[in-house]
Amino acid sequence: MKKILLGMSGGVDSSAAALLLKEQGFSVLGVTLRLCPGTPCEYESGDAADARRVAEALGIEHLVIDREEAFRQDVIADFISEYAAGRTPNPCVVCNRRIKFGAMLDLALELGCSAVATGHYACTRVCPDTGRTLLLRAPTSKDQSYMLYSLSQHQLSHAMFPLAPYSKPEIRAMATKAGLPVAQRPDSQEICFVPDGNYGDFLRRFGVLPKQGRFIDSNGAVLGQHRGISYYTIGQRKGLGLSFGKPMYVTKIDAASGDITLGPEGSQYSPSAVVERVNWIPWERPPQMLRAQVKVRYQAPPAPAQITPLPDGRALVEFDQPQRAVAPGQSAVFYDGDLVLGGGIIC
């Protein structure tokens, strides 16, 4: 019987994944990682307690493992440095690569498990021609392949996503029918280590003071003062704190000077982007040029584009139609239909 390490957050998705894996005949080891600074480490607390109750209901083993230091170094430190540089990071992408399929995969192999499973909605399959493990969209609106594009071949080849065929309502119904105690637990909507969504205050707690400065227009004329670059992102219109008599959008954030450039309607669109740290999935080396659909945010619709690989792990993305709020620090992910070709960080 194959032994699978399952990341259990205490939510309905990972709990339903445990149910499905057990029904499929796997030996399931549930693991809850303690990640966030300041959270309780006792076995009876919070997410770990919910995961434990699910494990007891299903009759599977459950462990709580402390990986707070790795999370602080690999995820939180990156988040802080990116915001301090005036960029808008996506820490879930980093966490998936470095923690959930990095540190957790290392642990799985140490414990004799053949794979790491999670409650993500995505699919994998092996290409018969190349032997590479491919990443594909889940066939439901809950698809989370965008968050997984940076996984390596080693990580993808040891990844399992039991929820891939199901919609979220189907998962909740399945968990309810099985009597799982978290069946109706609400989904988390914020970054786990910034639950209130206030990034500026979070940075202050780590000694990073959001750099204050000026709002300027594209000609350098001063429009007003802002409260700190960490409170703003490219494409933002609301919450600027000033009235201009017409909609104005953040078009540039200069971390060195502290200036934030604002522009009128239309200026929030970009015809192209350069991405760095590109991870290609179907190939070791991609074609010299390719057509793809590109998502510049998790919730953004895919946009047709031409992609030209560049030296040093970068790529030029030229959109057929200019795209809104192409924010440095966010991920641009490339698709060919349901197949994830790869992606990188917008720079």
Residues with a known catalytic role: 95, 192
SS3 245: coil
**Cα three-residue angle 5-22-185, rounded to 5 degrees:** 80
Which two tokens mark 261?
Answer: 């450039």
- In 10 A of CB 126, how many CB atoms? 12
- In 10 A of CB 111, how many CB atoms? 12
**Cα three-residue angle 61-65-68, rounded to 5 degrees:** 160
Q: How far apart, in whole angstroms, are the C-alpha atoms of residue 279 and residue 282? A: 10
Which two tokens mark 73?
Answer: 């170094």
SS3 71: helix
Which two tokens mark 262?
Answer: 């604002």
Helix axes 46-58, 12-23, angle to 10 degrees: 20
Q: How far apart, in whole angstroms, are the C-alpha atoms of residue 294 and residue 304? A: 6
- Would you list the DSSP string of 108-132? HHHTT-SEEE-S--EEEEE-TTT-P
| C-beta separation of 6 from 20 below 8 A | no
Under 8 Å CB-to-CB from 246, ≥6 apart: which residues? 264, 265
Under 8 Å CB-to-CB from 284, ≥6 apart: which residues? none
